[in-house]
Amino acid sequence: MIHSPRKQSASCRANLRLARNLWGDLSRLAASHLRELTGRYRLSIAAGDLQLLEGRWYVTHTGLLGIAQRNRCLGIETSPERRLCNPATNRWVFRAIVYKDPRSTRGFVGFGDADPSNVSSFVDGAELRIAETRAVNRALRKAYGIGLCSVEELGCSSRPSKPSPAPAATNEHHNGNGATNGQPRLRDQLCLLIREHNLDATLVKAYAADFCGTQTLSGASRDLVESFISNLSASAKQNRDALICKLNSYSQPSEARS
């Protein structure tokens, strides 16, 4: 579907405006790249299609699926490469095939792997799903000629190599946000929500502190944090667009919000 230059221009202005609200002033290169991505792929920051990390644009799984849908993708097939997987160590390798041409039985193949060494500690136990998502993303990027790396394909460079020392666990116990009875820590639950719904972590933290009535999220009681996580999860499922608008208000000075 071809869109008029006027509509493309409006989409580009909306993306640039929201990008500056979320991440501050953009470099000329980043702004130019965003215009190109908006015009060529119809990607939307408000819809969660793009993320800016260290001055570079990354497409999200949501953005890639949108491109596939707009181009009438026929289907996506995934399967684990069992000889390369090791469930005991949470190592998974997936193969994905994207079919886009009804006249051909050949598809575009992509592989994705995940294990505790290349995913965030916030998503421990989700390596299987991450590996499948990475495989799908690579196959989609091949199928539609997208040279932009996806957020989900990025590894984790800051993962600790050793368990946290005992004093750190004691500190977490003081503010009530640590793990209890084998349940995931609240911080980990919050990070999973942020990743699942593709939310801006900085804005979520600002919203959480405001919700809990504390200067920072770490100063809130466990009950308050649990209440916030429950509220955030419900809002994301019921009306993500409204939640995004709410979060975006925290990119403005507090005076402007009030």
Domain spans in the chain, listed from the N-terminal domain onward: 1-57, 60-160, 178-257
What pLDDT, on the 0 to 100 scale, is given for residue 253? 56
What does the buried/exposed string (b/e) look like for 45-57 if buried means 16 or more CB atoms within 10 Å of the residue's CB? bbbbbbbbeeeeb
Q: How far apart, in Å, are the Cα atoms of 74 and each of 79, 98, 172, 216?
A: 17, 8, 49, 47
pLDDT surpassing 60 at residue 168: no
CA dist., res. 230 & res. 116, Å (int) = 27
Lowest-confidence region among 53-62, 67-76, 177-186, 217-226? 177-186
Q: Which CATH architecture has domain 60-160?
A: 2-Layer Sandwich (3.30)
Range 109-125 average pLDDT: 88
Q: Name the pLDDT band for 257 (thresholds 50, 70, 90).
A: low
Higher pLDDT, 30 or 197: 30
Beta bridge partners of 188: none
Q: Using a pLDDT cut of 90, give the percent of the chain over it.
A: 49
What pLDDT, on the 0 to 100 scale, is given for residue 162? 39
Which among 103, 43, 35, 33 has a CA at the least distance from the CA of 70? 43
Strand segments (E) across the chain: 50-53, 56-59, 75-80, 92-99, 108-114
Query: Residue 17 contacts by C-beta under 8 Å, 6 or more apart in sequence?
Result: none
Lowest-confidence region among 21-35, 99-113, 238-252? 238-252
What pLDDT, on the 0 to 100 scale, is given for residue 185? 67
Do residues 177 and 225 lie in contact, with contact meaning Cβ atoms separated by under 8 Å? yes
pTM above 0.95, yes or no: no
What pLDDT, on the 0 to 100 scale, is given for residue 111? 97
Q: What is the CA radius of gyration of the chain?
A: 20
pLDDT surpassing 90 at residue 219: no
For every residue of 50-79, which 3-state class applies, written as one string? EEEECCEEEECHHHHHHHHHHCCCCEEEEE
Which among 73, 70, 69, 63 has a CA at the least distance from the CA of 102? 73
What pLDDT, on the 0 to 100 scale, is given for residue 170? 39
Lowest-confidence region among 30-34, 75-79, 103-107, 214-218? 214-218
Range 45-61 average pLDDT: 93
What pLDDT, on the 0 to 100 scale, is given for residue 165? 46
CA dist., res. 125 & res. 187, Å (int) = 15
pLDDT digits (tens, 9 = 90+) for 133-145: 999 999 999 999 9
